[in-house]
Structure formats: structure tokens, C-alpha cells
Amino acid sequence: MSFYQYIDYLLKERKNLEDRVKYMSKAELVQLGRQLLATYRQSLRGFDEWFTNFYVMDKMDIDMLKDVVLNLMRIGFQLLEYDRYITWLWYEKEEAERRKMLEDKGNRTHIV
């Protein structure tokens, strides 16, 4: 299956995939997440190749280029916002676990 056929499949199956996520095991979620990230990387590599290829940039009209850049900004900023949010959640979770571990350790020393 070519990359573009795979993208078509993902786009057509998006709703089904979103529904299936609710019932997936942890291993299935990790596998799907890795597949999605690999697909996104491939797509970003394609955009990167466009922007580093003088021929493509020369042939692309200004309106199409503006559209691509604006969409990359919209998608990218949404990803950055989510990255910041999920990283903060992870940090808070780790801090709570560390505090609990220290608290448990402190409680054990008082019992002995």
C-alpha cells in the first residue's frame, strides 16, 4: 500500500478508529500511536522537502504557499499546545507520585 493510499485509508476510517480507541488495550494503543506518529513524520518530511526544493518553491504560487504555511502554523501550534499540556500533566503526575513516595517513606520511619 502506498503512503497516499494509507493516508486515504486513515482519513476514511478516522471515525471508526476513534471509536475503536475506546476499547483498545494498552498495547494496541501504543501500536496505533506509533503508526500515527510514523505517518505524521512522513508527511512532515514531505513538506520539508517542498520547502528545501527550489524547483517546488519556484513553481508554487504565493497563494498556495500562504495556504500551506498558515495550515502548518495552525496544525503545528495545536500540536505544541497539546505537547505543553500533556507534558505538564505528566510532570504533575510524577510529582504527586514522588510526594506520595516521600510521604510513605516518612510514615514508615515513624512506625519503626
How many residues in the chain?
A: 112
| Predicted pLDDT at 111 | 53
The C-alpha atoms of residue 28 and residue 26 are separated, in whole angstroms, by 5
Question: What local confidence, expressed as pLDDT, does residue 110 receive?
Answer: 55
Q: Give, rounded to a whole angstrom, the gap between the first and last alpha carbons of the chain.
A: 64
DSSP summary character for residue 79:
H
**Cell digits for 24?**
483498545
Domain assignments of the chain as residue spans, ordered by start: 1-60, 61-112
Closest by CA position to 43, among listed 68, 17, 78: 68
What confidence score (pLDDT) does residue 74 get? Answer: 97
Residues whose CB is less than 8 angstroms from the CB of residue 51 and which lie 6 or more positions away in sequence, other chains included: 57
Which pLDDT does position 94 carry in this prediction?
Answer: 95
Segment-wise mean pLDDT, segments of 10 residues, the chain, 112 residues: 88 95 97 95 95 95 97 96 97 94 78 51
Record the cell numbers describing residue 96, joined without a space: 504527586
> What is d(CA 30, CA 100) in angstroms, rounded to the nearest whole number?
28
In the prediction, which pLDDT does 104 show? 86
